[in-house]
Amino acid sequence: MRRLEGQAVFVAGGAGRLGTATCHRLASEGARVFVTDIDEAAAQAVAKSIVDDGGEAYGTFLDLADHDSIDSAYTLAERVLGPILRLHGNGAALKLMYERDLGALDIDIETWEMTLRTNLTGHLACVKRALPAMIEAGNGAIVLTSSGAAHTAEPIRLAYAVSKAGINQLVRHVAHTWGKQGIRANAVAPGPVLPDDFPNMDAYKQAMRSNRVGKGDDIAAMVAMLMSGDGEWINGQILSVDGGMSMRP
């Protein structure tokens, strides 16, 4: 079943572990995928792999911290694919999160501002760019990547958690404001999607109510469903795909 046959999809952050799996899943559902990433070579490699598998895809550079970069990539996507009615925002400043994102007393303001500029403001810029065509068509689906960190607290990674809480409010705002005009906006909050040799893997498995850690395909399946007609009556939701780690409403 190809639930996205012919749909043009813009993916911001399409060359990492989750992004790659999602781009391939969208293409397998019939979507025409525009893959963007701060690693341009990786974005082009994902697009080439999709084309080699018989799909339609294009890859280019996008820096979520640079609004001119977002506008340029989106303009190119519209030139190549025509009106874009599906947006997936999946980028994040992960290097900053792992290396410099600390607690309130210790985090430097530069790290805070760059994390929010990339993880939250960059996605707002993508949404602002996407909405006019969706509103004109009376049809659109936006799926952003959130995190369980938006619902919990820990001593470090404050900026990341705040940025993901902002993502949740962004999709709710879009759903509330334009839902009656045919626009859907949701977020997916992934659990750990880790390689088999990841340190402390047993601890992650112990925290889950599942017999395995997540795979990129698990997240990709939810994104594809939300973008398809099967997700037509789902709007303004944050959906945890985490093997039962959160068990929240």
135 in Cβ contact with 181 (< 8 Å): yes
pLDDT digits (tens, 9 = 90+) for 208-235: 888 888 999 999 999 999 999 999 999 9
Answer yes or no: is 143 within a domain. Answer: yes
Q: What is the pLDDT of residue 24?
A: 99
Collapse the DSSP code of 131 into the 3-class scheme (helix H, G, I; strand E, B; otherwise coil) and give the result. helix
pLDDT score, position 91: 97
Q: Residue 135's domain is classified under what CATH number?
A: 3.40.50.720
Q: Which domain holds residue 212?
A: 8-241
Model confidence at 197, pLDDT cuts 50, 70, 90, reads confident
pLDDT at 211: 86
Residues 187, 143 contacting (CB under 8 angstroms):
yes
Would you call 160 a catalytic residue per the annotation?
Answer: yes
Residue 246 in any domain: the answer is no
Indicate the DSSP class of residue 150: G
**Within a domain: residue 249?**
no
Average pLDDT for residues 1-17, to the nearest whole number?
96
Q: Please check whether residue 129 lies inside any domain of the structure.
A: yes
Lowest mean pLDDT among 8-22, 83-97, 174-188, 190-204: 190-204
3-class DSSP assignment, residue 152: coil
Contact 181, 232 (CB under 8 A): no
Mean pLDDT of the chain: 96
The residue among 137, 129, 36, 125 whose CA lies nearest residue 85 is 137
Residue 1 belongs to some domain of the structure: no
Catalytic residue among 58, 74, 98, 160: 160
Residues 42-59: tens digit of each pLDDT: 999 999 999 999 999 999
How does pLDDT run across 63-99, given as a tens digit for each residue? 999 999 999 999 999 999 999 999 999 999 999 999 9
Does residue 227 lie within any of the structural domains? yes
Measure the CA–CA gap between 200 and 87, rounded to whole angstroms.
Answer: 34
- Identify the H or E element spanning 236: none
Tell whether 247 is covered by a domain. no
pLDDT tens, position by position, 129-147? 999 999 999 999 999 999 9
Domain count, the chain: 1
